[in-house]
Structures are given as C-alpha cells and as structure tokens.
Structure 1
Amino acid sequence: MDKLIRSIKFPIVFDKEKLQNDLKKIIDKNWIDHYNTNDYSGKWTSLALMSHNGKSDTIIALPNSDEKLVATEILDSCLYFKEILDGFLFEKTAVRLLQLAVGADIKPHSDHCLGYEDGSFRLHIPIITNSEVEFILDGTRLIMNEGECWYIDANFIHSVANRGTQDRIHLVIDGVRNQWTDNLFYNEASQDQFIKPVPVMSEEQKQLMIAELHRMNTPMANQILKDLE
C-alpha cells in the first residue's frame, strides 16, 4: 500500500503582516510569466528571491544544478523574507514568489522528482490568498492559509484554480533534504512514509520477463526463473 505523505502542514506560522509588508516593497517589480505556458490559463507570474545569476527575472528552477543560488537584487529590501530563508537550514534550489491572478488556473500536472522521498522537496508559504482558491493534490483539496508553511509532494498530480476576487501569492521554496530537514519532517510523520513503495509487477510483465529469461538460457537467468516460478 502506498503510504507516501502527500502533504504536511507544519506547526509553523509566520507573521502575515510582515510577509505582506515585504511583498508591498516589490509588488511593482517586473513579474515574469511562468515558463510552462502549456500548463496554465490566465496569468501566472513569478519573481525570484534567489537565483543562479542573482537576477529576479531568472525564475527557472533547476533542482539538479550544481550552481548555488545567490540573493537577487530585490531580496535585500525584504528583511522578513530573508529572515525566513535564513531560518531554513538546507540548500535551496529555487526561491520564488508565485502569483496566480484572479480567474487563472494551473492545469493538473506533476513535477519530476520533487518529493521528499527523492531527496528534494517544495514548501509553500501563502502570503495573500482567498477562500475561493482551489488547490487539489492527488484528489484532495488543501486549504492553505496566509502565514502557514506547507510541504506538498509535487510528484503527485496537482492543480490550482483561483476562483476568488484577489490574486493569490505564495513564497515557494525548493530545497535539498538533509539531517535538519529530516528532523523537521519526521516530527510530522513516520520515517517509512517518506520511502517510495517497491513497484508491483503486473502478471503480463512477469510473463514477458519469464519468456525473456527462457530465451537467454543462462545459469543466472535460470536461477531467476526458479525464484519467479
């Protein structure tokens, strides 16, 4: 049975007034359209607080890149954002503000290798939201309130629709798993809930493998056949 944790609401609450004050300082900056243009309709834009080149318009997340992130030109003016980031003791692979405009929706999709079981993860901190935002993760609606801190396993199908009258803006942080994060996550769920289940072979796949092993007819293949049959 698949026991993987889909989401966690951490017992962490940030000051939403301070979050929104920092946002006001940069709200008029040049927000960049999200690069996955086939995955959404309406307006979905982003600003980078950290990026590989230190520019806020470099919004692409590269989780497997060896390049380290540096603060962009807008982070120095956002002291509370910086305080939050400094308090998360893990390597960041993307730090962005994501804005989903009124009437926009992000189509159902999954992100590759972005679950804690992969050694990487994504955190959401809502700054501005409304009760009509529908965030669906693996068939379950998540209600994320301003100032809360959430983990979502983005390997599972998820979608977002802003059906309200106010744009929705989240601080979204991608990071690399370490001992510090293990302590954080394991306080909320057991360790075995972050281990990928072993894939179950269908009967058709098993018969195809047996046929191939018979064709090979080697000592090792014959030993595997004994185990299978």
Structure 2
Amino acid sequence: MPYGLLREFSQDGYIDFKKIGTKSIELNSWRYYNYENTSTLTWGLEAYTEPNKGISEVVFLFYDNQGLAAAYHNSGKISYNGKFTEYFTLNTSGTNYKLNNKNEKNEIFYHKGERVSKDSATISNTYLDSSGKVISIDDMKDGVDYYLNDAGTIYSNCLYLVKIIVKYCSIGVLDEYIEDETSYIEDFRWYWTNTMFNDYYYST
C-alpha cells in the first residue's frame, strides 16, 4: 500500500493436510496492544473441522474480580482458520455491538460496577444490590450501598481472565448451524488493559 505494510490487517498461516477433517481446533495466536481508550487484540485459530461440522461463533468472556464482566462475539466468518484483529473501546459501553452483556448461550448477565447510593441513582441505569440482583430505584433504601450494572464494559488498567469458547456445531442441509447440536471447545488467556507492557504482550 502507499503507506507501507499495515501489519494489523495482515493474515498469515499454513495448511496441515494431515489435520483436515480431524476436529483439530487450537488457539495459536493471542497478542494485544493498549492505547488510552482503545485496545487492539490479534487472535488466531488453527481450525480443521469434520465433515458437516463448523464453527458458528467464537466468544470471549472477560472475567474480573467481580465475575463475568463482558462478552465479545465473533460470528459470521467464512472461515476461522487464520488470524484476526479486533478493536475494543475501553471505559464505555455500546460502542461495538459485538461487545455486550450476553454470554455464549445469549443469556443476559449483570456485573457490579461503581458503588452508588439511593440519592445518586437515576432511572436510565440498572442497579444491583450487594448480592448482584437487579433492584429498582423504588426499592432502594437510604444508607445502603448499591452498584451500577456495567456489564459489557472493559476498563483500562484492569487484568481480565478471558475464557475463549469455540461453538462447534453441526451443519444442516441448507448450510445453517444447528444450535441444538453444539459442543464447546474452551481455552483461557490473560488480558491486561495496561499500556505499560504493550511491547511485550504484542510481540510475545
């Protein structure tokens, strides 16, 4: 390109013909680089599916010390054999429809975020009590701490354990994925949204 090689858009890899049709699916790349409010993640799979089987989606579940905080859904790819780059906007929600508060089964989850009181609560937000249950503003009590539900948000300067779930499905006669016949292939990686170790975590 006129501006030189754009490495974040490059894809490389090879085909191991011995693994074709063997259900050999492995995460072989996990690198990330953080800016002030943006994080770039490059990940890759070596995916050899069986006949009439396929990958309908790859889901990243981000866990912090409060539990499941956010989920990122990778779907609609023709092939998951290769390397891919994703961009996350940090410290805010609703900027990317793939990053949300639905787990691998599309079930809504909640996350205890900033601590709030009844006086500072607004109707436009969702709040949780100390046990993590949703509570309405009308049921809030004075002098009790509640939490803003910030599920679907990834923050800067935080350490996350990421559970990578590959949804491996049967394929029907119309090339549709049969969700009832889905098995999960899981892996785990760390994800630290700090700029301090950028060079290390993007080159390793």
* Fold in common (TM above 0.5): no
Q: Which has the larger radius of gyration?
A: 1
TM-score, length of structure 2 as denominator length: 0.25
Structure with higher helix content: 1
Which structure features the higher share of strand residues?
2
Query: TM-score normalized by structure 1?
Result: 0.24
